[in-house]
A and B are shown apart, each in its own frame.
Chain A
Amino acid sequence: NAGVMQNPRHLVRRRGQEARLRCSPMKGHSHVYWYRQLPEEGLKFMVYLQKENIIDESGMPKERFSAEFPKEGPSILRIQQVVRGDSAAYFCASSPPGQGFGYTFGSGTRLTVV
């Protein structure tokens, strides 16, 4: 089992460009979560998805950010027109349904906006 796979590991974008971050959950996991980690801060929840559904996007900025988890393929976190403040580590995690199982995390994508 390959675990949660995120790519790319590092992504550099110029201000105004688009960033696409990918996450393939663990085999058998139907739930995907995205978190953002800024320097000196903890993990901030962004969005929780199941296949073809956004369950909770209460942590997503209202503009420029979107997420999807299609029927086929990885989950995508998309950031349009990136700004310097978007520079952070973005972590994806997956879990089976239900409480009490905990998450399996990916290695993260470190986005740098120049």
Chain B
Amino acid sequence: AQRVTQPEKLLSVFKGAPVELKCNYSYSGSPELFWYVQYSRQRLQLLLRHISRESIKGFTADLNKGETSFHLKKPFAQEEDSAMYYCAPQGGSEKLVFGKGTKLTVNP
């Protein structure tokens, strides 16, 4: 069964500190992997996708096939990074399966 786990429901860091949001997945085959972000009272937005190896707003994500993880990282968190973050693998069926999300709070 397709499964994605974001073990931290809440994550709080201070401005300027590094941040890592964890994501582990259980999938047959090789899924495509995405991170989505939802700022307060806004729609979900695509933050980054593994296939394009891009870095958005200073965030990067490393795929570790051995550990089946796709953790999201940023070396220096900013207050405007406070949001809900969702990890989402996409299997062959084309549908995205979302984790329960991690609420990141960046304190001043």
Contacts and interface: CB of A to CB of B under 8 A. Distances in A.
A107 B98 CA distance: 17
Given A42-B86, A107-B43, A100 B98 contact: no
B93 A102 contact: no
A106 B43 contact: yes
A93 B92 CA distance: 18
A93 B36 CA distance: 12
B101 A56 contact: no
B5 to A, nearest CB: 11
Interface size class of B (residues with CB under 8 A): 20 to 34
Contact of B46 (A42, A97, A102): A102
B2 to A, nearest CB: 10
A105 B97 contact: no
Contact of A33 (B45, B95, B100): B95
Interface in B4-54: 32, 34, 36, 42-46, 49, 51
Nearest to B6: A42
Interface in B86-100: 86, 90, 92-100
Given A99-B32, A102-B34, 12 more contacts: A42-B98, A42-B101, A43-B101, A55-B94, A93-B44, A97-B94, A100-B32, A100-B51, A100-B90, A102-B46, A103-B96, A108-B43
Interface of B: 32, 34, 36, 42-46, 49, 51, 86, 90, 92-101
